């Protein structure tokens, strides 16, 4: 059986190198049951990640905190959207403790946490972020923690709150090249996202910084190189990830092209040549895919 990427309507046929066999259904079902039992969400499920079966089978997952409804409308993303003015989202005060408990039960040595955007909260959810990082640290003192955060609308006090909790890796995804921002991340800003990474690197130089982008959204090869250059300016980013965008549902932006595996090799070599400690690139790469191995390659 092959992974089905969302609905089949208006889909382009997947090339052979983007077909992935699914695996251990029992392990996947069991992990989903554990997560639901603690009211937890994962971006793996909400974003319909093509690696879900592989990751869940080896009991790896990326916790998605601050609920399962996002205040933004990025056109690549299938995480459910909502308007908190019409229907408040709420916030599960038990979520930090439950993430920590689940991570401990999974005996994780590397914990990746991400979140939806919660632009309506005065602190953007950064206090909840910090609580979650601290709870995981208390439950698993030996584990390394990667935080894949939103841009907090460029609020550096919110970014600082997450960094002060002491993650080992601070990840903020650029997602796409500058020219496509308005169509792909309409409520975000290219320079603001770079500024978030710059703040992290300059204020906490010992924490590794990481960022990722999707290709196949309409960018050109050279524009990806320019983004990599921007990420490396002043040494602000240590790790880059590049992977193929796959339209998760019919409502999301269509795939512009399927990038051939050889092209990733060129970006990897280029990224290395301009100083990234690690560049993880390939058709199935996602920013949290094999995050532990990538962090170790970068010296974490």
Q: Taking CB under 6 A as the rule, does residue 231 contact ligand SF4? A: no
Residues sharing a CB contact under 8 Å with residue 203, sequence separation 6 or more, in sequence order: 160, 163
Q: What is the dihedral of CA 53, 57, 63, 64, to 10 degrees?
A: 20
* Cβ proximity to ligand SF4, 50 vs 271, nearer residue: 50
Q: Which of 3, 14, 28, 43 touches ligand SF4 by CB under 6 A?
A: 43
Query: 215: helix, coil or strand?
Result: strand
Q: Taking CB under 6 A as the rule, does residue 51 contact ligand SF4? A: yes
* Cβ proximity to ligand SF4, 52 vs 231, nearer residue: 52
Q: Tokens standing for 238?
A: 């240590």
Q: Taking CB under 6 A as the rule, does residue 280 contact ligand SF4? A: no
Find the shortest distance in angstroms from Cβ 85 to ligand SF4. Answer: 29
221 DSSP 8-state letter: H
Q: Pattern of binders to ligand SF4 over 54-73, x per CB under 6 A?
A: -x----xxx-----------
* Cβ proximity to ligand SF4, 1 vs 93, nearer residue: 1
Name the segment binding ligand SF4 (CB under 6 A); options: 10-18, 160-168, 216-224, 284-292. 284-292
* Cβ proximity to ligand SF4, 96 vs 248, nearer residue: 248
Q: Taking CB under 6 A as the rule, does residue 44 contact ligand SF4? A: yes
Q: Which of 288, 294, 295, 298 touches ligand SF4 by CB under 6 A?
A: 288
**Sign of the C-alpha dihedral, residues 184, 178, 176, 129?**
negative
Name the segment binding ligand SF4 (CB under 6 A); options: 51-59, 73-81, 199-207, 234-242. 51-59
Name the segment binding ligand SF4 (CB under 6 A); options: 41-49, 119-127, 146-154, 166-174. 41-49
Find the shortest distance in angstroms from Cβ 289 to ligand SF4. Answer: 4
Q: Using DSSP bridges, classify how beta strands 62-65 and 41-42 pair: parallel, antiparallel or unpaired.
A: antiparallel
Neighbour order of strands in the sheet with 169-171: 41-42, 62-65, 110-115, 144-148, 169-171, 208-215, 239-244, 278-282
Q: Taking CB under 6 A as the rule, does residue 46 contact ligand SF4? A: no
Q: Taking CB under 6 A as the rule, does residue 210 contact ligand SF4? A: no
* Cβ proximity to ligand SF4, 99 vs 236, nearer residue: 99
Q: Which residue bears the tokens 């049951």?
A: 33
Q: Taking CB under 6 A as the rule, does residue 259 contact ligand SF4? A: no
Going by C-alpha positions, the residue among 49, 33, 90, 45 that lies closest to residue 66 is: 90
Q: Taking CB under 6 A as the rule, does residue 289 contact ligand SF4? A: yes
Residues sharing a CB contact under 8 Å with residue 184, sequence separation 6 or more, in sequence order: 74, 75, 76, 175, 176, 217, 253
The secondary element (H helix, E strand) that includes residue 111 is strand 110-115
Asked if residue 76 lies in contact with residue 175, where contact means CB atoms within 8 angstroms, the answer is yes
Q: Taking CB under 6 A as the rule, does residue 278 contact ligand SF4? A: no
Q: Taking CB under 6 A as the rule, does residue 242 contact ligand SF4? A: no
Name the segment binding ligand SF4 (CB under 6 A); options: 52-60, 78-86, 118-126, 174-182. 52-60
Asked if residue 288 lies in contact with residue 148, where contact means CB atoms within 8 angstroms, the answer is yes
Q: How far is C-alpha 8 from the chain's CA centre? A: 25
The secondary element (H helix, E strand) that includes residue 278 is strand 278-282
Residues at the contact surface with ligand SF4, assessed by CB under 6 A: 43-44, 49, 51-52, 55, 60-62, 286, 288-289
């Amino acid at each position: 059986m092959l992974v089905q990427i969302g609905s089949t309507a208006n889909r382009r046929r997947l090339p052979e190198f983007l077909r992935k066999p699914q695996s251990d259904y029992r392990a996947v079902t069991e992990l989903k049951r554990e997560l639901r039992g603690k009211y937890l969400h994962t971006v793996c499920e909400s974003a319909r990640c093509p690696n879900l079966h592989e990751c869940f089978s080896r009991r790896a997952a990326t916790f998605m905190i601050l609920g399962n409804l996002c205040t933004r409308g990025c056109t690549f993303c299938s995480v459910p959207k909502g308007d908190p003015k019409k229907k408040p989202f709420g916030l599960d005060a038990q979520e930090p403790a439950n993430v920590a408990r689940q991570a401990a039960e999974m005996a994780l040595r590397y914990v990746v946490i991400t979140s939806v955007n919660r632009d309506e909260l005065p602190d953007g959810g950064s206090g909840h972020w910090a609580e979650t990082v601290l709870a995981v640290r208390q439950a698993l003192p030996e584990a390394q923690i990667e935080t894949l955060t939103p841009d907090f609308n460029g609020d550096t006090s919110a970014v600082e709150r997450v960094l002060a909790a002491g993650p080992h890796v601070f990840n903020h995804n650029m997602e796409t090249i500058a020219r496509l921002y308005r169509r792909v991340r309409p409520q975000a800003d290219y320079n603001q996202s770079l500024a978030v990474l710059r703040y992290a690197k300059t204020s906490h130089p010992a924490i590794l910084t990481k960022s990722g982008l999707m290709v196949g959204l309409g960018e050109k090869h050279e524009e990806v190189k320019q983004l990599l250059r921007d990420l490396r300016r002043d040494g602000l980013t240590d790790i880059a990830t590049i992977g193929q965008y796959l339209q998760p549902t019919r409502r999301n932006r269509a795939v512009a092209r399927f990038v051939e595996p050889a092209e990733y090799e060129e970006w990897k070599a280029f990224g290395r040549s301009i100083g990234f400690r690690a560049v993880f690139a390939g058709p199935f790469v996602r920013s949290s895919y094999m995050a532990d191995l990538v962090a170790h390659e970068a010296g974490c």
